[in-house]
């Protein structure tokens, strides 16, 4: 279970070695108690009922069965009671130790995995379903807790008990012991065969469950679109198809599990019958006492119990094995944007960002940027314009190193950003997206997210600095208004204004505005643009826009076509030059005649 694929798990187990060792010691003590449980009954049958003499080493320890028969019975009854109480206490203590240790281990694994996933590049996250990430962070990690509990609570005490029972049986009658223990290899062979089959079946179950989770999250997360187009029946069918595959995989796993238990039980039943017959014949011959036969049968049952328990917990072990593999896959992922070991710190405020012959491709066989070069300095604004897919947002994503250039270099104050500490670089950049992301928190907390440690007063000051405080105060609870998940309780303009205030609080010297005023009405656009003007003042601003009227005042406009800069200059210079920019202006300028809808009366 912790072979090469689960080597990482051992580090977490070592961190809880004290609790796990204490739990193991408690369960070892319980194994001793389980080992002693049949002995009072053995003495009751042999010494109280049949009045056989005690072994010499027990003289003075137990009452004489010939003269103190009832006293011996009372002592043995109290011993059985004491062993039962000890077993209960040890079970409680051992369970508590292993369950608590398992909980702490799972907490650490989940926290580390979450931190690791957060730091993987966007390239990784964009090829993953959100449901897949959540399934591994929740369901797969939870399987490990069940595994730790099953090993500590079930497997360990029963395993130690088997060893102890086998030793005692060999001491009593080694021939009979060998016959009784001969069933063990068959049981282990059955367990091994079915464990492999069950692991494969459960791997398929987990894969289909994860896919189903992703589909559910996708459908319910876009339920407005589903309802708008009346696609509920289609999505019912899509969900049903994935759910059906998950059901088939689950039924197959259940079939394997259902075969496991009867196979184990049949082997145990055959062995028990044969061993009981042989033992009774041995008692008749006088080689074995009735009490010793009781010990053998009790121990045989004790050996069979872990085998049955293994059949019951086989699903737990199978799921844990699959979970270890799946979590290990994510732990082995490495970010394509890695910080170099010798990365340099960057202090102060950057004043210049430069692209020098930059090329980039999301795939090795296809580049989307070709030889892009420009420089942006503090106090200046550069606008990127071009058709959809021309590379505007890709250029913006290279500045904070969401991706790395495949050729050329991006320089911050003359230093290649790949040689800088990633956290220092990203503190130099504030980002305002076309569709701003807000969290389920108050308005001021969403603004304060822009700077670690910022409080309510700083958030309100940032809102005032960009001129949106009046808009926020108009909300039901002002700055304390709770924002719904993904900002759904606010309008697009309100979300955009809050994102601008967050960028202002960040106080980064470089601002990236990715189509910040698209899809806004004229009044909202004016308010947003006024806030953006305040944000961009005295900063290096890179603006991406489809609406050319919003970038007319830019110090320089770069026109992109198929990942190349085909024109550059001011608005007036580019119009005079003609070419691609003038064509875009003619097609998209605000004062051009707008197509009119024809309303046809029936």
Tell me which of 158-162, 480-484, 553-557 is least confident: 158-162
Mean pLDDT on 349-368: 89
In this prediction, what percent of the chain has a pLDDT beyond 70? 90
Q: Are strands 510-514 and 352-360 parallel, antiparallel or unpaired?
A: unpaired
Q: How far is CA 520 from CA 344, 435, 449, 535, in A?
A: 41, 11, 24, 19
Question: Minimal CA–CA distance to 27: which of 145, 164, 156, 147?
Answer: 156
pLDDT in tens, 434-486: 778 888 889 899 889 888 888 989 999 988 888 888 888 888 888 898 888 76
Helix axes 156-172, 174-181, angle to 10 degrees: 140
Cα separation, 409 vs 416, in Å, equals 6
Tell me which of 240-249, 568-577, 592-601 is least confident: 592-601
Tally helices (H) and strands (E) across the chain: 22, 10
CATH number at residue 67: 1.20.1560.10
What is the rounded average pLDDT for all residues in the chain?
Answer: 81
pLDDT bin (cut points 50, 70, 90) of residue 593 is very low
Q: Is the pTM of this model over 0.75?
A: no
Tell me if residue 312 falls in helix, strand or coil.
Answer: helix
Tally of structural domains, the chain? 1
Domain range for 214 is 4-332
pLDDT bin (cut points 50, 70, 90) of residue 598 is very low
Is 123 among the domain residues?
Answer: yes
Is 552 among the domain residues?
Answer: no
Is 277 among the domain residues?
Answer: yes
pLDDT at 355 over 90: yes
- Determine whether 456 is exposed, middle or buried from the number of CB atoms within 10 Å of its CB (0-12, 13-18, 19+): middle
Is 198 among the domain residues?
Answer: yes
Is 171 among the domain residues?
Answer: yes
Cα separation, 89 vs 98, in Å, equals 14
Q: Phi and psi (nearest 5°) for 435?
A: -115, 85
Tell me what pLDDT residue 130 has.
Answer: 63
- DSSP of 357-377: EEEE-SBTTB-SEEEEEEEEE
Is 118 among the domain residues?
Answer: yes
Q: How far is CA 103 from CA 16, 98, 146, in A?
A: 11, 8, 10
Rank 108-117, 124-133, 249-258, 316-325 by mean pLDDT and report only the highest: 108-117
In this prediction, what percent of the chain has a pLDDT beyond 90? 12
pLDDT bin (cut points 50, 70, 90) of residue 591 is very low
Tell me if residue 434 falls in helix, strand or coil.
Answer: coil
Helix axes 522-536, 492-506, angle to 10 degrees: 0
In 232-380, DSSP assigns E strands to 352-360, 369-377
Tell me what pLDDT residue 228 has.
Answer: 67
Tell me what pLDDT residue 89 has.
Answer: 94
Mean pLDDT on 273-298: 78
Strand partners of residue 569: 557
pLDDT at 118 over 70: yes
Is 292 among the domain residues?
Answer: yes
Tell me what pLDDT residue 370 has.
Answer: 92
Cα separation, 383 vs 295, in Å, equals 88
- DSSP of 109-157: HHHHHHHHHHTS-HHHHTTS-HHHHHHIIIIIHHHHHHHHHIIIIIIHH
pLDDT bin (cut points 50, 70, 90) of residue 413 is very high
Mean pLDDT on 325-343: 84
Tell me what pLDDT residue 409 has.
Answer: 93
Tell me what pLDDT residue 566 has.
Answer: 92
pLDDT in tens, 56-100: 777 778 888 777 888 888 888 898 899 999 989 998 998 888 888
pLDDT at 127 over 90: no
Tell me what pLDDT residue 146 has.
Answer: 79
pLDDT at 531 over 80: no
Is 126 among the domain residues?
Answer: yes
Mean pLDDT on 528-542: 80
Tell me what pLDDT residue 597 has.
Answer: 40
């Amino acid at each position: 279970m912790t072979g090469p694929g689960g080597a990482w798990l051992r580090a977490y187990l070592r961190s809880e070695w004290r609790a796990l060792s204490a739990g193991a010691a408690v369960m070892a003590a319980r194994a001793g108690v389980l080992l002693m449980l049949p002995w009072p009954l053995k003495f009751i049958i042999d010494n109280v009922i049949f009045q056989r003499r005690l072994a010499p080493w027990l003289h003075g320890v137990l009452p004489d069965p010939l003269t103190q028969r009832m006293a011996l019975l009372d002592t043995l009854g109290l011993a059985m009671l004491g062993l039962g109480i000890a077993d209960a206490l040890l079970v409680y203590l051992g369970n508590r130790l292993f369950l608590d240790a398992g909980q702490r281990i799972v907490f650490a694994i989940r926290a580390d995995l979450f931190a690791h996933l957060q730091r993987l590049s966007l390239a990784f996250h964009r090829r993953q379903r959100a449901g897949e990430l959540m399934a591994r962070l929740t369901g797969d990690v939870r399987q490990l807790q069940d595994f730790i509990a099953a090993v500590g609570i079930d497997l360990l005490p029963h395993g130690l008990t088997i060893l102890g029972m086998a030793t005692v049986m060999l001491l009593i009658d080694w021939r009979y012991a060998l016959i009784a223990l001969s069933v063990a290899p068959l049981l282990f062979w059955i367990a091994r065969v079915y464990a492999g089959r069950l692991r494969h079946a459960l791997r398929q179950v987990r894969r289909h469950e994860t896919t189903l989770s992703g589909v559910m999250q996708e459908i319910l997360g876009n339920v407005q679109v589903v309802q708008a187009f009346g696609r509920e029946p289609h999505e019912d069918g899509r969900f049903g198809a994935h759910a059906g595959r998950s059901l088939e995989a689950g039924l197959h796993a259940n079939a394997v599990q259902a075969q496991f238990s009867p196979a184990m039980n049949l082997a145990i039943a055959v062995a028990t019958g044969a061993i009981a017959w042989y033992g009774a014949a041995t008692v008749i011959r006088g080689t074995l006492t009735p009490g010793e036969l009781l010990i053998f049968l009790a121990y045989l049952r004790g050996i069979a119990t872990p085998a049955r328990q293994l059949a019951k917990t086989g699903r737990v072990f199978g799921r844990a094995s699959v979970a270890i593999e799946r979590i290990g896959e994510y732990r082995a992922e490495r970010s394509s944007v890695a910080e170099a070991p010798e990365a340099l710190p960057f202090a102060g405020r950057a004043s210049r960002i430069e692209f020098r012959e930059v090329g980039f491709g999301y795939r090795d066989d296809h580049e989307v940027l070709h030889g892009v070069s420009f420089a942006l300095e503090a106090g200046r604004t550069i606008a990127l314009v071009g058709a959809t897919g021309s590379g505007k947002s890709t250029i913006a994503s290279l500045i904070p190193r969401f991706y790395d250039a495949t050729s050329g270099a991006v320089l911050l104050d003359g230093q290649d950003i790949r040689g800088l500490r990633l956290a220092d670089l990203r503190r130099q950049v504030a980002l305002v997206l076309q569709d701003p992301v807000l969290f389920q928190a108050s308005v001021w907390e969403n603004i304060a997210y822009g700077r670690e440690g910022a409080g309510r007063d700083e958030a309100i000051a940032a809102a005032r600095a960009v001129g949106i405080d009046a808009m926020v105060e108009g909300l039901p609870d002002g700055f304390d208004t709770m924002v719904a998940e993904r900002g759904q309780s606010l309008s697009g303009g309100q979300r955009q204004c809050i994102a601008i205030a967050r960028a202002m609080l960040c106080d980064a010297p470089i601002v990236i505005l990715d189509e910040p005023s698209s899809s806004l009405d004229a009044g909202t656009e004016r308010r947003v643009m006024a806030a953006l003007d305040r944000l961009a003042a005295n900063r290096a601003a890179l603006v991406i826009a489809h609406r050319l009227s919003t970038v007319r005042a830019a110090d320089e406009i770069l026109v992109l076509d198929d990942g190349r800069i085909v024109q550059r200059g001011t608005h007036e210079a580019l119009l005079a030059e003609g070419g691609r920019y003038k064509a875009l202006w003619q097609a998209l300028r605000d004062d051009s005649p707008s197509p009119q809808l024809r309303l046809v009366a029936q």
